[in-house]
Amino acid sequence: MTENQTKIYKNKLVNIETYGCQMNFSDSEIVGSIMAEEGYQTIESAENADILFINTCSIRDNAEQRIRKRLKEIKRMKKDNPNLKVGILGCMAERLKQQLLDEEDVVDLIVGPDAYRDLPNLIKTVESGRRAINVLLSEEETYAEIEPVRLGSNKISAFISIMRGCENFCTYCVVPFTRGKERSRDPETILNEARDLLAKGYKEVTLLGQNVNSYSWESNATAVSFPELITLVAALSPLLRVRFATSHPKDISDELIKTIAKTPNICYAIHLPFQSGSNDVLKRMSRKYTREWYMDRIRTIKKHIPDCGLSTDIIAGFCGETEEDHKQTLSLMERVGYDYAFMFKYSERPNTIAQKKFKDDVSEEIKSRRLTEIIDLQQVLSLSANKQNIGKTFEVLVESFSKRSKEDLAGRNSQNKMVVFPKKDFNIGDYVIVKIKDCTAATLIGEAV
Ligand code: 5AD
Ligand code: SF4
C-alpha cells in the first residue's frame, strides 16, 4: 500500500504484540501489511481488536515463559471480548507447532515465520470457527516486494530486512530450527524499500539479518555482496544514515570494515557478538572462530575506524564453562572496552545441538554469579567509554523528546550512543551537532553548538 492510496478498511481490527529481536519487529510490519490487504487495520491495543497476534521469541526459556503468562492474561481478557481470535506467530509457533495448539486452548492460529502470506487463508478458517496452523519453512521466501506497515514508528528510523534464516548452527541456538535456511533478498527490492522510506522523510535505516556478512545475491549477470549492498543503500542519499545488524565475527571482512570507514553515512557502530572469551567454550559453541581471530577483527576495526562504537552479546555459564573460561570472558570484555553489551545466562533449548551433545552442568547459582560479574564489569566499561567522549562533538539524529523532560531532545550519534541535550529550537528529525559535557553509563549529556 502506498501512502497516496487510501485503504478501505472493513472495520476489522488487528493488534500485533511483538517480543524478541529486531527481526521479529520487522516481521510484524510485514504481517501488518498482509493484514491491511485483507482489510484489517492495525491498532495499538488488544482491547477492541478482532484478532490479536503475538509474534514470539524462543531464544531463551524465559522468553517462552513470558508468552505463556501473557496467554493466561489473554484468556481472562477474552471474557470481555469473546469473539477475539488469538494467533501465535514467529519462533515459538515454529518450535512447538501443533503442541502449542494442544496446550493452549486460548490459541486459534499458529503461523511460522515463513508462512505469513498464508494468513488470509488461515484467517478464513479461523473466522469459520476452526483452528488453523501453517508452520512450513521455505527456502525462498523473503517477503521481498511486501511494503511493511511501519508500526509504532518514530518516522525517523526503520528496519529493512535483507535476508532470513540462519545456517550457522551455533550449538546453543534455536534460530536455525525456527527460522530455517539462510536466503538473501533481491537487492532491487531492498533499494526500493529504502527509497520509499526516504520519500516519506525517514532519516535512518537498519539493514537486518541473522548474519549480514553472508548476504549474497546472484542473478543473471549480477552478484551483490553485503559491502556492495550497504554501499548502494548509502548512496541513495547523504542524509540517510545506514546501520546494520548482526555481524558474525567469523565472516566480518576487511572489505566491509573499509567500506564503513570510507562511507560517511554508514554509521560507525558494529555489533559483534563474541559469546565467550574462552577457546574451549567457543569450540563447544561451534562459533568457528577463536579468541585470537576475534581480537584480530577488533584490531582491524579499530585501525580503520578508530572511533567505532562496539557492542556485543555474551553468554554466561555455557556447558562445561570453568571459572578460568569465565575469567577469559571478563578479560576479553576489558581488552575490547565495549560501549554496551547484551548479556545472558545460558538457557538450554530443546533439540539444539548443545542439548543433545553436552550437559547443562553449570549450576543456576554459578550462572547467576558469573552473569552479575559480567554485568558489573560492563557497567564500568560503559561509563569509562562514555567519559572518554566528554569534550567531543558528535552529529546527533534527533529521534524523540528525552524521557525525563520535554525541554530536552534525545537521539543517537553515529556510534549508536544515546545523546540528550536541551531542545532550544531543534526538532525531531534534525541532525544537530552536540558537544558532550557529562555522561552516565547509558547516556551522553551535551549541548548543541
Ligand atoms: N541461551 C542464552 N543466550 C542465548 N542466545 C542465543 N541462544 C541462547 C541460549 N540458548 C543469545 C546469544 C545471541 C543472542 C541473540 O542471544 O548471545 O547472540
Ligand atoms: Fe543463532 Fe549463531 Fe545463527 Fe546467531 S549465528 S542466529 S547465534 S545460530
Model confidence over 72-95: pLDDT tens digits? 999 999 888 999 999 999 999 999
Residues 28 and 117 in one domain: yes
Q: How far is the centre of ligand 2, averaged over its atoms, from the C-alpha of 123 (Å)?
A: 32
Q: How far is the centre of ligand 1, averaged over its atoms, from the C-alpha of 275 (Å)?
A: 8
Q: Could you report the per-residue pLDDT of 331-365, keeping only the tens digit for each?
A: 999 999 999 999 999 999 999 999 999 999 999 99
For residue 411 and ligand 1, the question of a CB distance below 6 A is answered with: no
- CB 132, CB 178: distance < 8 Å: no
For residue 349 and ligand 1, the question of a CB distance below 6 A is answered with: yes
Residues 382 and 273 in one domain: yes
Residues 379 and 399 in one domain: no
* CA distances, 197 to each of 25, 66, 193, 312 (Å): 17, 33, 6, 28
Residue 322 placed within a domain: yes
| 152 pLDDT higher than 90 | no
User: How many domains, in total, are found in the chain?
Assistant: 3
* Percentage of the chain lying above the pLDDT 90 cut: 94
pLDDT band at 4 (very low <50, low <70, confident <90, very high): very low
What is the CATH number for 8? 3.40.50.12160
Q: Which residue puts its alpha carbon closest to atom 18 of ligand 1?
A: 313
For residue 275 and ligand 1, the question of a CB distance below 6 A is answered with: yes
Residue 167 placed within a domain: yes
Residues 289 and 433 in one domain: no
* Cell triple for 307: 572511533
77-109 burial, b if ≥16 CB within 10 A, otherwise e?
bbeeeeebbbbbbbbbbbbbeeebbeebebbbb
For residue 177 and ligand 1, the question of a CB distance below 6 A is answered with: no
| 188 pLDDT higher than 80 | yes
Burial class (CB in 10 A: 0-12, 13-18, 19+), 332: buried
Residues 244 and 215 in one domain: yes
What is the CATH number for 427? 2.40.50.140
For residue 347 and ligand 1, the question of a CB distance below 6 A is answered with: yes
Strand-by-strand arrangement of the 51-56 sheet:
40-43, 12-18, 51-56, 85-90, 109-111, 132-134
pLDDT (mean) for 406-428 = 97
Q: Which residue puts its alpha carbon closest to atom 7 of ligand 1?
A: 173
Q: Which residues contact 299 (CB under 8 A, 6 or more apart)?
A: none
Phi/psi for 278 (5° steps) reads: -105, 130
The ligand 2 site (C-beta within 6 Å) comprises 166, 168-170, 173, 175-176, 210-211, 248
Residue 437 placed within a domain: yes
From 134, 149, 174, give the residue that closes a domain: 134
Per-residue model confidence (pLDDT) at position 271: 98
In the chain, count H helices and then E strands: 14, 21
pLDDT band at 71 (very low <50, low <70, confident <90, very high): very high
Per-residue model confidence (pLDDT) at position 219: 87
Ligand (nearest to CA of 287): 2
Residues 374 and 402 in one domain: no
pLDDT (mean) for 123-151 = 96
pLDDT (mean) for 240-246 = 98
| 8 pLDDT higher than 80 | no
| 206 pLDDT higher than 50 | yes
- Domain span at residue 203? 157-387
The overall average pLDDT reported for the chain is 96
Residues 412 and 373 in one domain: no
Nearest Cα neighbor of 26 from 118, 157, 138 is 157
Q: Which residue puts its alpha carbon closest to atom 2 of ligand 2?
A: 170
| 190 pLDDT higher than 60 | yes
Q: How far is the centre of ligand 1, averaged over its atoms, from the C-alpha of 297 (Å)?
A: 21
From 97, 119, 134, give the residue that closes a domain: 134
pLDDT (mean) for 138-155 = 94
For residue 59 and ligand 1, the question of a CB distance below 6 A is answered with: yes
Residues 273 and 290 in one domain: yes
| 212 pLDDT higher than 70 | yes
Nearest Cα neighbor of 352 from 58, 125, 142 is 58
Nearest Cα neighbor of 277 from 251, 320, 316 is 316
Q: Decide: helix, strand or coil at residue 327.
A: helix
* CA distances, 119 to each of 34, 115, 123, 292, 392 (Å): 8, 7, 6, 47, 50
Nearest Cα neighbor of 233 from 208, 270, 258, 257 is 208
Atom of ligand 1 nearest to the CA of 345: 2
Per-residue model confidence (pLDDT) at position 47: 87
For residue 315 and ligand 1, the question of a CB distance below 6 A is answered with: yes
For residue 248 and ligand 1, the question of a CB distance below 6 A is answered with: no
Per-residue model confidence (pLDDT) at position 6: 53
| 7 pLDDT higher than 70 | no
pLDDT band at 153 (very low <50, low <70, confident <90, very high): confident
Q: What is the pTM of this model?
A: 0.95
- CB 196, CB 234: distance < 8 Å: no
| 373 pLDDT higher than 90 | yes
Residues 366 and 442 in one domain: no
* Cell triple for 125: 478458517
pLDDT (mean) for 298-310 = 98
